[in-house]
Amino acid sequence: MTHPAPDTLKPPARSVGEIAFDVALWGGIAALLILSFGPAEMRKLPLLFANSENMRQFGSEFLRPDFSDWKLLISQMWLTIQIALWGTFIAVLLAIPLGLAGSRNISPPFIRQPVRRLMDLLRSVPDLVIGTIFVVAVGLGPFAGVMALALNTGGVLGKLFSEAVEAIDKGPVEGVRATGAAPLQEIVWGVIPQVAPLWTSYALYRFESNSRAATVLGLIGAGGIGQILFDSLNSFAYSRVSAIGLVIVVAVTCIDLLSQTIRSRLI
């Protein structure tokens, strides 16, 4: 049995520039952590243990979830899932043209750049801000939550869709082009079949995320279980908050398992 030469077991030599870059990178991260220690109020960390009696009382109520209104909780969780479902569906319809128009291997620069800036705008505005705008426009209720999720998720999925299109194999597209197909036919027959499984995976993942995000939108009166959650928090009904949290965890877990099963069959 032959053994490798000792020299082959040594890691490859690194240049001075690579070592300097690593030192600068990790030194910069350490400096940022030190500089942000005060603004982030990390000095309050010992208070988690100093107020141990309050934490024990808080935890004891959480260990006694109140499911007396379980029918209401389940119905509101179902409403939250429906908000996430419609928000994700509209987002996908919005993201498909945005993703195609924002891809550098399909769209010319004078179209691609404005589309990318639009996607940046949709991604950068928080759900709560968009939801507040729609609450002012259409009033309180689930529709404001649907549109808030749709616009924000549309920007995120549009970015992901465009990156998937940019990574496709050019062969099928060139094959379709060789038959004399129009540009739209090249997209339909050469691009979409390649990216459809990945697009579906992205959409399912965002549906999972939106199922959680939709609960936060209850803060602005967008309906669903989030509204009950914040009402319970404001009234210090922590036993009910615990029950709501468990309902949300079970629902999100079921959605995650379902989406994993679908993704495994697509990819």
Spatial separation of the C-alpha atoms in residues 218 and 213, rounded to whole Å: 9
- Average pLDDT over all residues of the chain: 83
Domain ranges for the chain: 71-266
Spatial separation of the C-alpha atoms in residues 144 and 128, rounded to whole Å: 10
pTM of the entire structure? Answer: 0.76
User: Which has more confidence, 166 or 61?
Assistant: 166
**Lookup: tokens for 178:** 């060789």
Over residues 52-77, the mean pLDDT reads 76
Q: Are 224 and 76 in contact (CB under 8 A)?
A: yes
Spatial separation of the C-alpha atoms in residues 146 and 128, rounded to whole Å: 12
Smallest CA-to-CA distance from 159 within 94, 235, 62, 213 is with 94
At 237 the three-state DSSP class reads coil
Q: Which of 190-194, 225-229, 262-266 has the lowest mean pLDDT?
A: 262-266
64 — pLDDT class (breaks 50, 70, 90)? confident
CATH class for the region spanning 71-266: mainly alpha
**E strand or H helix at 62:** helix 52-62
CA dihedral 45→48→51→54, nearest 10 degrees, is 150
